[in-house]
Each structure stands twice: as C-alpha cells, then as structure tokens.
Structure 1
C-alpha cells in the first residue's frame, strides 16, 4: 500500500513515515500543498494523509482540487484544526476521515486500515433514506419534502447517521464523532441530543427512522 503524507511539521512527518513504514506501507512525504497536489494528481496512492495548515496551498484547497480532478483516492485529514465546523468542512469537501492532533498512532493506524478496507469512495452530496434527505453541501435536511429546522449540532448528528445507514452507532462513537469528547457513563448528553433530533425528524411523521438498540446505541434505518 502506497501512502502520501502532506505535512509541514518535519518531526511529525518523520514520525509518521517511520511508524507506517514499520507497518509495511510505502510512504512518500512532502511539506507543502503545491507539491502535495502535484503528487496526488500525477501518482497513484492508496491513501493521502493531509494536514490543513500547510504552506503554499492549504489542505482544504488541495482536497478540493483532488476531487475536482475526479480522483477518488481516500483522504484522511490529520490536523490541529479541531472545531466541529472544521470537521464538517473537511467531510463536505470529500475527506474520508478527520483525526485531530495530538493523536495516538494506534488510532491513526486503525483509521487507515478502516478506510483501506472500504476502498476509494467519494462522499455523496445528497443522502437519502426513505423520505428523509440531507444535502451535505448546503447544510439542509428535508422530510417528506418539508425543510427540517436543525441546529448545527443536530445537522452534524444526522449527517453521521445518514452516512452510516442501518449501522448501530454506540454512544461512545457518537460522542467522539460529533462532540469530539470521550463518552462518560454518567452523562446523558447523547440521549438528550437524540431525543431532540427525533422530535424533528420522526415525531411529525408516521414512519419512524431513528431507533434505539437497547444497551448498544442507535440506528437510522427503515423498518
């Protein structure tokens, strides 16, 4: 497997190259966005690890140009940009995953392997389940043709479910992906958020799509 790393922090780049090489990957490194875009669009890679804040051309622009060129190479953002808006922007541009620095190498490796198992996929602009639809670019959601009035956090939560239909999502995964926090058993933040989302996407409609799997988590699916 051939990986391209676009990272201007040379110590971080060397650390990644050493660790991934030891896991059997072939690794190329570049330190700015211009070279990163050139390599990404002229050579074949199985995965690109991309920082947002790199010289000459930032990671957002690099990914946008990669996708505009028609390339489906999986891209994982690895960056210190840690807001929800940043993560949503990365996913909207077509990233396959988003990991925040500082990071644990074992988690990075797990995410890389997960992406490679899925193969190259490009995130769809429009997502649909039954009569529920979501526009990831325009940040709009609809049910039975009616616009849903969602908060930014509710939209991010729904986007997570819509990208993983029929998959049971644990509270821990939801907390990490939407709030970027580790779930604690004594907090009900996830349950409250799910209840509020249900009030908007399910309660006014006869068909219920967001279901509780007792003791496990939640799933968005037709039943």
Structure 2
C-alpha cells in the first residue's frame, strides 16, 4: 500500500514515516501542501495522512481538492484540533478518519490497517495467485505445506506483482511503486531485489514464476498460465 504523509513538523514526520515504513508501507513523506498537491496530481495513492495545519495549503484544503478531483482513497486527518465542530468540519471535507496529535503510533497503525480495508484493491489480509499465498501482516509466503518469510521490500515487490498477475510491469512502474518519492534507487536495485525474491520463491517450489520480459520488465505467471 502506498501512502502520502503530509506533516510540516519534521520531528513528527520522521517517526511517523519510519514506523509506517517498518510496517511494510511505501510512504512518500512531505512537509508542505504545495508539494503534496503536485504529488496528488501525478501519482496514485492508496491512503492519505494529512496534517490539518500546514502553511499555505492546509490539509483540509488538500482533502477538499482531492475529493473534488473525484479521487476516493481513504483520508486520515492528523490535527491538534479536537472539538466536535473541528471533527465535523474535517469529515465534511471528505476525511474518513481523524486522529488527534500527538498521535499514538500503535493507534495510528491500527487506523491505517482499518482504512486499508476500504481501498478498492483490498482482498483481505492475504493475497493468492493460484496456490501461492502471501500473508500481508506476517510477510509469510505459503505454497502447499511450504512457507518462507520475506523481507518488507521483497513482500512489497511480490504484493505488487500479485495484484497485477500475468501483466508485463515495466521497471519504471515497479520502481515507482516500491521506492519513496525522492529516493532514487541504484541502477541495479530492482534487479537485485528480483533475484532475492526468486530465491525465496525457489524455496517453496515457485522460483520460475517471475518471468523476465527482455527490454520491457517483469511478469508474474503461475505454471498453468504459461503456454508452451
């Protein structure tokens, strides 16, 4: 799941982004509304976490603009405003949930998980392609009686592939999905990650499921979808 986190206080942004990243999410963390506007116009997100009080463009305005653009990813507002009137204003602007600052990190993760269940692509706490099953919370990959544990980055790559089975995904698509905005991966980072994931898949007898489409990218294909 890709999250846009907008918080102008760096002392709060860094720990929030850190715990969300550790939980396995891809997080674009920014400190101002203008940058957030650009990202929302150019990228797709599964969840938005917006600080209400931002300079120039407030989190409330970002939420209103996002909804007016017809986009429906869940929005969680972070704010010190805790009156009923403030909460109603945020919800009426299009927010789905509301968390008073300073945010308890455990509660934040619980609310993110709950909001994640509202996104259109949510398919439960596990994903399946044929007899391959990825448990998103535990990062356990299962096939038949065999299991293997993935790293967060390996799980993110496999999750993206499993949500787009039998499709050719370009290197740019995969890098955009896996690496945070502003964090340029090294030229061979994706190649190394695919190699590591193939090794994990090999342990459970699915090492050949990730196909390299030369000059284009990669595709996840189970044996029954491979012709010839």
TM-score (norm 2): 0.51
Structure 1 unmatched ranges of 5 or more: 121-223
How many Å separate the matches in 2 of 1:50 and 1:35?
Answer: 13
Q: Which residues in structure 2 correspond to 1:181-220 (within 5 Å)?
A: none
Question: Is the contact made by 1:31 and 1:55 (CA closer than 8 Å) also made in structure 2?
Answer: no
Question: Displaced runs of 4+ in structure 1, greater than 4 A?
Answer: none
How many Å separate the matches in 2 of 1:92 and 1:81?
Answer: 15
Correspondence for 1:3: 3
- Confirm whether residue 78 of structure 1 aligns to residue 78 of structure 2: yes
Deviation at residue 103 of structure 1 after TM alignment: 2.1
Deviation at residue 104 of structure 1 after TM alignment: 1.1
Deviation at residue 73 of structure 1 after TM alignment: 1.5
Deviation at residue 89 of structure 1 after TM alignment: 0.6
- Confirm whether residue 58 of structure 1 aligns to residue 58 of structure 2: yes
TM-score (norm 1): 0.52
Q: Which residues in structure 2 correspond to 1:84-95 (within 5 Å)?
A: 84-95=84-95
Secondary structure of the corresponding residue to residue 117 of structure 2: helix
Deviation at residue 84 of structure 1 after TM alignment: 0.9
Deviation at residue 29 of structure 1 after TM alignment: 1.0
Correspondence for 2:111: 111
How many Å separate the matches in 2 of 1:13 and 1:22?
Answer: 14
Structure 2 unmatched ranges of 5 or more: 121-228
How many Å separate the matches in 2 of 1:77 and 1:116?
Answer: 15
Question: Is the contact made by 1:45 and 1:73 (CA closer than 8 Å) also made in structure 2?
Answer: yes
Correspondence for 1:45: 45
Question: Is the contact made by 2:74 and 2:118 (CA closer than 8 Å) also made in structure 1?
Answer: no
Question: Is the contact made by 2:4 and 2:27 (CA closer than 8 Å) also made in structure 1?
Answer: yes
The alignment of Structure 1 onto Structure 2 pairs a total of residues equal to: 120
How many Å separate the matches in 1 of 2:60 and 2:41?
Answer: 15
> Which protein has greater RCO, CA pairs closer than 8 Å, 6+ apart?
2
